[in-house]
A and B are shown apart, each in its own frame.
Chain A
Amino acid sequence: MTANVSMTLFDIVALRREFPILNQSVNGNVLAFLDSAASSQKPRRVIDCLEDYYRRYNANVHRGIYRLSEEATFAFERARGKVARFINARSQREVVFVRNTTEAINLVARSWGDANLREGDRILLSIMEHHSNLVPWQMLAQRTGAKLEFLPIDGEGRLALDNLDAQLEGVRLVAITQQSNVLGTINPVAEIAQRAHAVGALVLVDGAQSVPHMPVDVQALDIDFLAFSGHKMCGPTGIGVLWGRRTILEQMPPFLGGGSMIKVVGLHESTYADIPARFEAGTPAIAEAIALGEAIDFLQEIGMDQIYAHERELLGYALERLTEVEGLRVYGPRTTDMRGGAVSFTLDGVHPHDVAAVLDGEGIAVRAGHHCAQPLHAYYDIPATTRASFYLYNILEEIDRLVVALRKARTLFG
Chain B
Amino acid sequence: MIGMDDLYRELILEHYRHPRRRGWLDHPDVSAEEHNPLCGDRVRIDLRIENGIITDARFDGRGCAISQASASMLTDEIVGMPVEQAKQFSKDQLLALIGIPLNHNPVRIKCALLPLKTLKVGLYGVGHVPDEDEM
Task: Give a binary string over A369-395; 1 marks a CB under 8 Å from any B CB, 0 the rest.
Answer: 110001001000001100000000000
A352 to B41, CA, bound (A): 11
Which of A200-208, A279-287, A357-365 faces chain B? A357-365
Which residues 386-414 in A have Cβ within 8 Å of B in the complex? 412-413
CB atoms of A351 and B3 under 8 A apart:
no
Which of B13, B39, B62, B111 counts the most A-chain CB atoms under 10 A from its CB?
A: B39
CB atoms of A370 and B39 under 8 A apart:
yes
For this complex, 29 residue pairs linking A to B, each with C-beta atoms less than 8 Å apart, are: A27-B1, A351-B64, A351-B65, A351-B68, A352-B39, A353-B41, A353-B63, A353-B64, A353-B65, A353-B66, A353-B108, A354-B64, A354-B65, A354-B66, A357-B4, A358-B8, A360-B4, A361-B5, A370-B39, A377-B40, A383-B41, A383-B42, A383-B62, A383-B63, A384-B39, A384-B40, A413-B13, A413-B16, A413-B65
Which of A351, A370, A413 counts the most B-chain CB atoms under 10 A from its CB?
A: A351
Which residues 83-111 in B have Cβ within 8 Å of A in the complex? 108, 111
Q: Does any Cβ of A come within 8 Å of B38's Cβ? A: yes
CB atoms of A351 and B4 under 8 A apart:
no
Which residues 2-49 in A have Cβ within 8 Å of B in the complex? 27
A384 to B40, CA, bound (A): 6
A360 to B1, CA, bound (A): 12
Instruction: Mark A residues whose CB is within 8 Å of B.
Output: 27, 351-354, 357-358, 360-361, 368-370, 374, 377, 383-384, 412-413
Q: Does any Cβ of A come within 8 Å of B49's Cβ? A: no
Contacts of A353 in B (CB 8 A): 39, 41, 63-66, 108, 111
Given A351-B64, A383-B41, check contact A357 B7 (CB 8 Å): yes
Q: Which residue of A lies closest to B39 (CB)?
A: A369
CB atoms of B65 and A369 under 8 A apart:
no
User: Which residue of the partner chain, among A351, A370, A412, contacts B63 with CB atoms under 8 Å?
Assistant: A351
Which of B40, B42, B65 counts the most A-chain CB atoms under 10 A from its CB?
A: B40
Task: Give a binary string over B1-33; 1 marks a CB under 8 Å from any A CB, 0 the rest.
Answer: 101110110000100110000000000000000
Given A353-B111, A361-B3, A413-B13, check contact A368 B39 (CB 8 Å): yes
Contacts of A370 in B (CB 8 A): 39-40
Distance from A164 Cβ to chain B, minimum over Cβ atoms (Å): 31
Contacts of A412 in B (CB 8 A): 8, 13
Q: Told that A360-B4, A370-B39, A383-B39 touch, could you supply 8 new A-B pairs with CB distance under 8 A?
A: A27-B4, A352-B39, A352-B64, A354-B66, A357-B4, A361-B4, A377-B40, A413-B16
Q: Which residue of B lies closest to A355 (CB)?
A: B64
Contacts of B65 in A (CB 8 A): 351, 353-354, 413
User: Which 10 residue pairs of A and B lie closest in terms of their CB atoms, listed nearest first?
Assistant: A361-B4, A383-B40, A353-B64, A351-B64, A384-B40, A354-B65, A369-B39, A354-B64, A370-B40, A384-B39
CB atoms of A357 and B3 under 8 A apart:
no
Which of B38, B42, B64, B111 counts the most A-chain CB atoms under 10 A from its CB?
A: B64
CB atoms of A358 and B4 under 8 A apart:
yes
Contacts of A357 in B (CB 8 A): 4, 7-8, 64, 108
A357 to B66, CA, bound (A): 11
Contacts of A377 in B (CB 8 A): 40
Contacts of B68 in A (CB 8 A): 351
Contacts of B17 in A (CB 8 A): 413
A369 to B35, CA, bound (A): 13
Contacts of B41 in A (CB 8 A): 353, 383
A360 to B5, CA, bound (A): 12
Q: Which residue of B lies closest to A412 (CB)?
A: B8
